[in-house]
Amino acid sequence: MTQTPDFLDISRPDVPDLSVPRGVTPFFLPKLPVRGRLVRLGPLADALLTRHDHPAPVRALLGQALALVAGLATALKFSGSFSLQAKGDGAVPLLLADCTDSGALRGYARIAEDMSLPESNHARALMGDGYLALTVDQGPDTERHQGIVTLEGETLADMALHYFSTSEQLTCAIHLACAETPHGWRAAALIVERIAGAGGVDPALSEAEQDEAWRTAKILAATITDAELLDDTLPAERVLYRLFHGEGVAADRPRPLAYGCRCSRARLADLLNGFAPDDLDHMAIDGTITMTCEFCNVDFRFPRAPIGQSDNLEPDAQTAHQTPNA
């Protein structure tokens, strides 16, 4: 049987085929200028965070980024991917997370080899000084929408709030949580926004009453605990009722989230075919070029000889680095 050439092999690598049907629960307070999303990755968090053997503080930071991106992406109407990228000069110089319009999640954190982790587990201590970028990418035929701000605040939630207050002029409250539980790693987010304009707001409410409604919602949202957010046995609707039952909270249809790395042999084969022969020779070790997907930690191995002859590429084995909980 003829094997599929590398440049046509778009099959998914050996990674978890996992989805969470109720990953994001949108909600709103009827007639009040408040809406939000409750994000709970459930077992998806463990599948994503254990692909790399990172220390617990780094996994927690990446888990918060994944929950944040999922919550922000599902608030938009777009086709493509929504990404968070933070670069700094600390022990974690690069943090990446993105979510597609269908809820496919992936993320990556890089640890500096020449630095040790600080005693503080806060995002700012881990990442240092740098910048935060949020990007909507709807494909090569469209212009990317990107906003960039400096890293400000101690936590990732603080940094996101700084972004929205300076770049998007959006009033919101954000609570992020990620920790290892008896059932594995879990990550969650509560994002509450003040609705701009009159859409969905009771026209009888004065501006002062709308201001007071937002202050009340913000105070109630602040009572959420990490334990409540990360508890698999506590349904999302129950969490929202505990927080906002006095305001008549209503939940919209949940949105799914899934393990969403988009690497493939076809993508990498196409990339390799763009290199000059001398560069390919330099990449090869014992006649094999190994390319690693930093998101899912899968190695793709290509024999050097056929590269550059896309019609004759032979598929080779791909292996995944195993981590203790992967």
pLDDT band at 107 (very low <50, low <70, confident <90, very high): very high
User: Which pLDDT score, from 0 to 100, does residue 1 have?
Assistant: 40
Model pTM score: 0.84
Residues 6+ apart with CB under 8 A from 175: 157, 189, 190, 221, 222, 224, 229
114-155 pLDDT, tens digit per residue, is 899 999 999 999 999 999 999 998 877 788 889 999 999 999
155-214 pLDDT, tens digit per residue, is 999 999 999 998 777 899 999 999 999 999 999 999 999 987 666 788 888 889 999 999
Q: Which domains does the chain have, with CATH numbers?
A: 23-259 (3.55.30.10), 263-320 (3.90.1280.10)
Torsion-angle region of residue 31: left (phi > 0), alpha (psi -120 to 50) or beta?
Answer: left
End-to-end CA distance of the chain: 32
User: Which pLDDT score, from 0 to 100, does residue 307 have?
Assistant: 66
